[in-house]
Amino acid sequence: MRLIHRIYQFALERTGMTVRPKPRISSRKRPQQARSNALVSTILEAAVRVLAEEGAQRFTTARVAERAGVSVGSLYQYFPNKASILFRLQSDEWKRTTEQLRKILGERSRPPLDRLRHLVETFIRSEFEEASLRVALDDAAPLYRDAPEAHEIHAEGDRIVEVFMRDVLPNTPQAARTLAGELIITTMTAVGKELSETPRGDAEIKEFAEAMSTMFCAYLAKVEQVTDL
pLDDT tens readout for residues 44-93: 999 999 988 888 888 999 999 999 999 999 999 999 998 889 888 888 88
pLDDT surpasses 60 at 25: no
Helices 148-168 and 82-105: crossing angle, nearest 10°?
10
CA distance 1 to 179: 9
Residue 165 CA: distances (Å) to CA of 99, 119, 197: 17, 13, 30
Strands (E), the chain: none
**Rounded percentage of the chain residues whose pLDDT exceeds 90:** 49
Per the CB < 8 A criterion, the answer to whether 84 and 26 are in contact is: yes
Residue 228: its pLDDT value, please? Answer: 66
CA distance 156 to 13: 23
Planar angle of CA 159, 207, 5, nearest 5 degrees: 25
Give the predicted TM-score (pTM) of the model: 0.76
Lowest mean per-residue pLDDT among 82-86, 119-123, 203-207: 82-86
Residue 121: its pLDDT value, please? Answer: 94
Size of the chain, expressed as the number of residues it contains: 229
CA distance 36 to 46: 15
Residue 54 CA: distances (Å) to CA of 7, 57, 91, 190: 24, 8, 20, 25
- Cα 97 to its chain centre, rounded Å, is 5
| Per-residue b or e along 163-199, where b marks 16 or more CB atoms closer than 10 Å to that residue's CB | ebbeebbeebeeeebbebbbebbeebbbbbbebbeee
Per the CB < 8 A criterion, the answer to whether 182 and 28 are in contact is: no
CA distance 137 to 94: 12
CA distance 88 to 27: 8
Mean pLDDT throughout 173-179? 94
In this structure, the number of other CB atoms found within 10 A of the CB of residue 108 comes to: 10
